[in-house]
């Protein structure tokens, strides 16, 4: 059985500060960001709104994609979010 992996983007607010991450457990990881359970960038800048994610069956492909997106210009990341979630809704409730 293949395990899913996820590349995701969080935002502080619509068009706010963005964070790109990768995880094997999207619900748990977003919950950790929301609760500020781990010190770091997302806690410091209150980046906890799940605005985009992508599912992968291979963790190595997910990591490659995360690195690719992190290297993108901000406008490209915003466009990626806009295509999936033009209202910048917090998608956390959708995945729980």
pLDDT of residue 38: 84
Return the percentage of the chain with pLDDT > 70, whole number.
98
The domains found in the chain, sorted by start residue, are 5-95 (3.40.1440.10)
Encode pLDDT of 43-82 as tens digits: 999 999 999 999 999 999 999 999 999 999 999 999 999 9
How far apart CA 55 and CA 93 sit, in angstroms, is 17
User: CB-hemisphere CA count at 13 Å for 7?
Assistant: 20
How far apart CA 37 and CA 78 sit, in angstroms, is 26
Burial 21-57 (b: 16+ CB within 10 A, else e): bbbeebeebbebbbeeeeeeebeeeebbbbbbbbebe
């Amino acid at each position: 059985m293949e395990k899913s992996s996820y590349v995701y983007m969080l935002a502080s607010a619509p068009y706010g500060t963005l964070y790109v991450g990768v995880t094997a457990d999207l619900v748990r990881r977003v919950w950790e960001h929301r609760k500020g359970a781990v010190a770091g960038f997302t806690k410091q800048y209150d980046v906890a709104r799940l605005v985009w994610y992508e599912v992968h069956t291979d963790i190595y492909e997910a990591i490659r994609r995360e690195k690719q997106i992190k290297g993108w210009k901000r406008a490209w990341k915003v466009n990626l979010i806009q295509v999936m979630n033009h209202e910048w809704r917090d998608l956390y409730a959708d995945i729980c």
